[in-house]
Amino acid sequence: EAQVTQNPRYLITVTGKKLTVTCSQNMNHEYMSWYRQDPGLGLRQIYYSMNVEVTDKGDVPEGYKVSRKEKRNFPLILESPSPNQTSLYFCASSPIKTGPNSPLHFGNGTRLTVT
C-alpha cells in the first residue's frame, strides 16, 4: 500500500530533551516536507526536500533540523525542544515528475507535547 509512515503517533517529552520524528514513504517521491498544525493557523511548512541531500527551510524552521540521506526517509529533529513546539506534525510527500497538480500525500501525524 502506498503510504507515508510517521512515528511515533504521540510523544510527550520535556524541555531540552532531543527527539526525532521519523518519516518514510514508499512511493519513490522526490519531494518531502514537514508541516506543523496549530489551531487557527492551519498547516505551516517547516522544512522541505526536493531530493536526496537537498533540503531547505520552509516558513517556520527555527528549532528544527532535517536530513535526507535516502530518498524514502526524511526525519525531523528537535535538538532542544521547547513548549512552543507543542503541536501536531505532518510529514508529506509528492512526486515532482507528474507536475504541480499532484497532491501532497500526508502521514497520519505526530502529536508532540513538550512540558
Binding site for another protein (CB under 8 A): 31, 33, 35, 40-45, 48, 50, 58, 88, 90, 92, 94, 96, 100-101, 103-106, 108-109, 111
Of 15 and 26, nearer to another protein (C-beta) is 26
Q: Any idea which residue has 487557527 for its cell?
A: 40
Question: In the complex, what is the shortest distance from the CB of residue 42 to another protein, in angstroms, rounded to a whole number?
Answer: 4
Handedness of CA 38, 8, 78, 92 (dihedral sign): negative
**9, three cell numbers:** 503517533
CA-CA-CA-CA torsion for 34, 62, 78, 29, nearest 10 degrees?
20
Of 14 and 96, nearer to another protein (C-beta) is 96
| DSSP conformational letter for 73 | B
Question: In the complex, what is the shortest distance from the CB of residue 41 to another protein, in angstroms, rounded to a whole number?
Answer: 6
Of 45 and 113, nearer to another protein (C-beta) is 45
Question: In the complex, what is the shortest distance from the CB of residue 15 to another protein, in angstroms, rounded to a whole number?
Answer: 24
Instruction: List, in sequence order, the alpha helices (H) in 1-115.
Output: none
